[in-house]
Amino acid sequence: MSTLWKDIRYKLLQSDSKLGLLIGINVIVFLAVTIPGIFEAWFFKSTYIAAFADKYLQLPANLKTLAYHFWTPITYMFMHAGVFHILFNMLWLYWMGQIFEEYLGHKRTVIVYLLGGLAGAVFFVAAINLLPMFADPQWQAVTVVGASASVMAFVVATATLLPNYEIFLMFLGPVKLKWLAIFYVLIDFLGTIGPNAGGEFAHLGGALIGFIYIKQLQKGNDWSTPINKMFTPKPKIKVVQGGGGGNTRNTSANTLPRQDEVDRILDKISQSGYDSLSKQEKETLFRASNNDR
């Protein structure tokens, strides 16, 4: 049991990858709400815990309620409505997140998750309050919950970065990421006139921010830089005495690549795929990824 706990703690807090942290938060929140709720139903035949979580953690469409529950645009993206809801969201987050971190490092993972969730919240609230289709007052009572908007941000971001990257899907075989992303975006768009219309708009918001994030990154605008700088410790300055007679060594292998060179390589990947890179370009991307890690 101690070994299992050590493995879980490593995945959550010590691993370079941030996927374990995000998945862990989602699972912990889900179990913290669901397990006590089950015991409550067994012994007291009530659902106060679930009702409390729904009221204070889910994202409401009503603007007045949202003003009082201003934290819900964050909390809703870590809540889920059932076992299969969280299961499929976490599986897709893990699959797409692994590819994302393989090529862009782990420092951008959390910001993409949060941006996807926030964009989904904006799309959901705006759609319910602005579109004539939702003019019926009953829509003001709806809420949205789940990490789906954040997951869609990873799906579309990864497909935008690596459109020709292939993954194997059961019964379908190898499928390029660009077709997978287009399929899911189309499904969400068609679902905007269905019973989960608000949720589908949230998915579209996450998808859009994933696309914009990668396009901005390819232009040299990394939205995660200000956040990463806040948590990056300042290097200590060491003064070394001595003249120039000491031995010198070639440090080119440790020199960080320029941002414009990395952006050029990322743009080439998005157009022609990873296999089109030269050996030198792959080494440059590898050094940049190591710096992120």
pLDDT band at 184 (very low <50, low <70, confident <90, very high): very high
Q: Which of 193, 218, 243 is the last residue of a domain?
A: 218
What's the number of domains the chain is made of?
2
The average confidence (pLDDT) of the chain is: 85
Residue 241 lies in a domain: no
pTM confidence score: 0.77
223 within domain boundaries: no
Residue 22 lies in a domain: yes
The residue from 171, 200, 218 where one domain ends is: 218
Higher-confidence position of 109 and 245: 109
**One domain for residues 9 and 72:** yes
Q: How confident is the model at residue 250 (pLDDT cuts 50, 70, 90)?
A: very low
pLDDT of residue 220: 86
User: Is residue 161 domain-shared with residue 278, that is, in the same domain?
Assistant: no
The answer to whether residue 247 is domain-embedded is no
Share of the chain above pLDDT 90, in %: 62
Q: What is the pLDDT of residues 22-72, one digit of tens each?
A: 999 999 999 999 999 999 999 999 999 999 999 999 999 999 999 999 999
DSSP annotation of 236 reads P
CATH number of the domain that residue 172 is part of:
1.20.1540.10
pLDDT tens digit sequence for 132-177: 999 888 899 999 999 999 999 999 999 999 999 999 888 888 999 9
The mean pLDDT of 98-114, rounded to a whole number, is 93
Rg (CA), the chain: 22
Does residue 225 form part of some domain? no
Q: Residue 65: inside a domain, yes or no?
A: yes
**Of the candidates 165, 194, 218, which is a domain's last residue?**
218
Q: What is the 3-state secondary structure (H, E, C) of 55-75?
A: HHHCEECCHHHHHHCCCHHHH
Q: Which domain holds residue 62?
A: 2-218
3-13 residues labelled b (16+ CB within 10 A) or e (exposed): eeeeeeeeebe
Instruction: Determine the Cα angle at 147 with ends 12 and 271, to 5°.
Output: 90
pLDDT at 71: 97
% of the chain with per-residue pLDDT over 70: 80
How far are the Cα atoms of 37, 76, 81, 137 from residue 146, in angstroms, in the given order? 18, 6, 7, 23
* 149 and 279 together in one domain: no
Residue of 189, 118, 187 whose CA lies nearest to 149:
118
